[in-house]
Amino acid sequence: EAGVTQFPSHSVIEKGQTVTLRCDPISGHDNLYWYRRVMGKEIKFLLHFVKESKQDESGMPNNRFLAERTGGTYSTLKVQPAELEDSGVYFCASSQERTRNSPLHFGNGTRLTVT
Amino acid sequence: AQKVTQAQTEISVVEKEDVTLDCVYETRDTTYYLFWYKQPPSGELVFLIRRNSFDEQNEISGRYSWNFQKSTSSFNFTITASQVVDSAVYFCALSGRNTGGFKTIFGAGTRLFVKA
């Protein structure tokens, strides 16, 4: 079984540019999450999809961030325009069950650097 | 407030030493779940263990053991006879109704260096 895959693994962009991150969850996992870790701090929740619907987007920092999951398969997270404080590692995770005791299956993350 | 605190930012040990990673949590929930994840150099977080709030039994899995104490709101992780392959960042995490939706709250992580 293929795990959660994220692309790209690294991205370096200039302030003001646009970047799109992609996540392919484990096949059959309806629940997809985006998290972010900024420089040695906590991993923070961004949003949660159930299939193609946004279940919870309370962690999205501002309207420069747009997440989509068309067709309920892969998801994209677009940052437009990027700011310096957006730098960090963006993790995608998926789970089969929508329960609070479900372990998350994570991808390797995308390291975003905004200069 | 819902919060997970991992006070140890980095720990360095020599191979075969025992090491304990601390995790203290805060929650208003009576039912909640605690997790530990490992992030090796390859980058992905790997699930290690889940503990339910109503089950305070400690758990041992090979060289790994977990001590859950509700009285002190702690869920500590001990590695016995550490090995170089244990070098990683370890995250403690919490989930419950009051974390909001189905999100998981993570601590800042503890980076463990095991030297040969």
pLDDT, tens digit, 9 for 90 and up, residues B14-73: 999 999 999 999 999 999 999 999 999 988 999 999 999 998 888 899 999 999 999 999
pLDDT of residue A100: 85
The answer, for B30 touching chain A at a CB cutoff of 8 Å, is no
Rounded to the nearest angstrom, the gap between the alpha carbon of residue A38 and the centroid of all alpha carbons in its chain is: 13
* Low-confidence stretches of chain A (pLDDT beneath 50): none
Among candidates A33, A43, A107 on the partner chain, residue whose Cβ is nearest the Cβ of B44: A107
pLDDT of residue B111: 97
Largest CA distance in chain A: 39
Closest-approach residue (CA) in chain B for A45? B103
Among candidates A41, A42, A45 on the partner chain, residue whose Cβ is nearest the Cβ of B103: A45
Are the beta carbons of B102 and A3 separated by less than 8 Å?
A: no
Measure the CA–CA gap between B65 and B58, rounded to whole angstroms.
Answer: 7
CA angle A13, A88, A100 (to 5 degrees): 135
pLDDT of residue A26: 95
The answer, for B55 touching chain A at a CB cutoff of 8 Å, is no
pLDDT of residue A72: 86
- Strands (E) across chain B are located at 3-5, 10-14, 19-21, 24-26, 32-39, 46-52, 59-61, 64-69, 74-79, 88-96, 105-106, 110-115
**In the 8-state DSSP scheme, what is residue B97?**
G
pLDDT of residue B101: 80
Distance from CA of B82 to the nearest CA of A (A): 23
Measure the CA–CA gap between B43 and A112, rounded to whole angstroms.
Answer: 14
pLDDT of residue A39: 86
pLDDT of residue B62: 95
Q: Give the residue-averaged pLDDT of B78-89.
A: 97
Number of residues that make up chain A: 115
CB A9 within 8 A of CB A100: no
The per-residue pLDDT for range A16-44, each reduced to its tens digit, is 999 999 999 999 999 999 999 998 899 99
pLDDT value at B94 more than 90: yes
The per-residue pLDDT for range B96-115, each reduced to its tens digit, is 988 888 899 999 999 999 99
Distance from CA of B43 to the nearest CA of A (A): 5
The answer, for B11 touching chain A at a CB cutoff of 8 Å, is no
User: Which two structure tokens, joined as six digits, stand for A101?
Assistant: 């005791």
pLDDT of residue A70: 86
Size of interface A-B (CB pairs under 8 A): 73
The answer, for B96 touching chain A at a CB cutoff of 8 Å, is yes
Rounded to the nearest angstrom, the gap between the alpha carbon of residue A26 and the centroid of all alpha carbons in its chain is: 14
Among candidates A41, A48, A104 on the partner chain, residue whose Cβ is nearest the Cβ of B101: A48
